[in-house]
Amino acid sequence: MSDPFFTPISGFDLPRFAGVPTFMRLPHVEFDHPRFSDVQIGLIGAPWDGGTTNRPGPRHGPRQVRDMSTMIRAQNGATGVRPFEAANCADLGDVAPNPADLMDSLQRMERFYARVKAAGIRPLTAGGDHLCTLPILRALAKDAALGMVHFDSHTDLYHSYFGGTMYTHGTPFRRAVEEGLLDPLRVVMIGIRGTAYDNEDRDFAESVGIRVIPIEDFHQRGVADVMAEAREITGSGDTYVSYDIDFVDPAFAPGTGTPEIGGPNSFQAIDVVRHLKGVNIVGADLVEVSPPFDASGATAYLGASIMFELLCMMTA
């Protein structure tokens, strides 16, 4: 039986445009809250885009995703999963970054997620740019390397930018492999496409055994076949899921800093997550929603919907 404290506010009780927004209308539970130790899955905002190299704005993503997530209801209409009854879920608030200091922000995020992990809580994060994933992995993979399912139009495996800058949203998974946070043989990257600087990222992936599935293969093979391979690659071990909203075609998700044409539609965007059933997900994120490029909130609503699908898979 679900705990009434962790039951989201229903639209039947309070209109969705009213009240203080939290992720999916869940209770707001911070570290010093008396019910913190009862939380099993924590929804977290990481409002930081210090790793962005082109169009900034993802620092505003968590706030807009929170607002749009008030439209989420109790039950998954396709799968029947009722995640808020399957686990105690709460909004743990935001990591407090230092917008003037990239390295300090990385350390702040790692400390935050280390406390979440120590409490036995699995994090589901709204970013922020994709560099936010690195400190999360540093906290979650302290004991052993993780597998990863990565939805994106970019590999984020570059060595450095601008002659030696090691920490950008294009480098987090290169660092994660180098630091032993990810087991490259249990990493799959899906939807990669667009023009490229060179082959450096693909060459690195091949050299360490990361499986890269280009968008051409995704469209030719279909969701079910691609995701069956993804489940085989990750196996039964602990796995992280990182979902960049620019995986989705910009016709459906224009609110992001580095869009690439030719991606999945909005149904495929959630269908790939439904095919994660059986994956041992220890944490997940949805990153790179940039409200300045989609004031309508449609991209943020898609992001919130993807987070709900991830939550369903984390509780299934």
Question: 41-46 and 122-127: which strand pairing?
Answer: parallel
Element (H, E) at 214: strand 211-214
Is 156 known as a binding-site position? Answer: yes
Compute the chain's Rg from CA coordinates. Answer: 18
Q: Using the structure block, give the residue that is written with the tokens 């913190």.
A: 36
Instruction: Tell me whether strands 122-127 and 281-287 are parallel, antiparallel or unpaired.
Output: parallel
Answer yes or no: is 271 a known binding residue: no
What order do you get walking across the sheet with 122-127 strand by strand?
Answer: 89-94, 41-46, 122-127, 281-287, 239-244, 146-151, 182-192, 211-214
Ligand-binding site membership of 244 (annotated): yes
In degrees rounded to 5, what are phi and psi of residue 52?
Answer: -70, 135
Residue 244, H or E segment: strand 239-244
Q: Give the pairing type, strands 41-46 and 89-94.
A: parallel
Element (H, E) at 79: none
**130 annotated as a binding-site residue:** yes
From the annotation, which residues make up the binding site? 130, 152, 154, 156, 244, 246
From the annotation, which residues make up the binding site for Mn(2+)? 130, 152, 154, 156, 244, 246
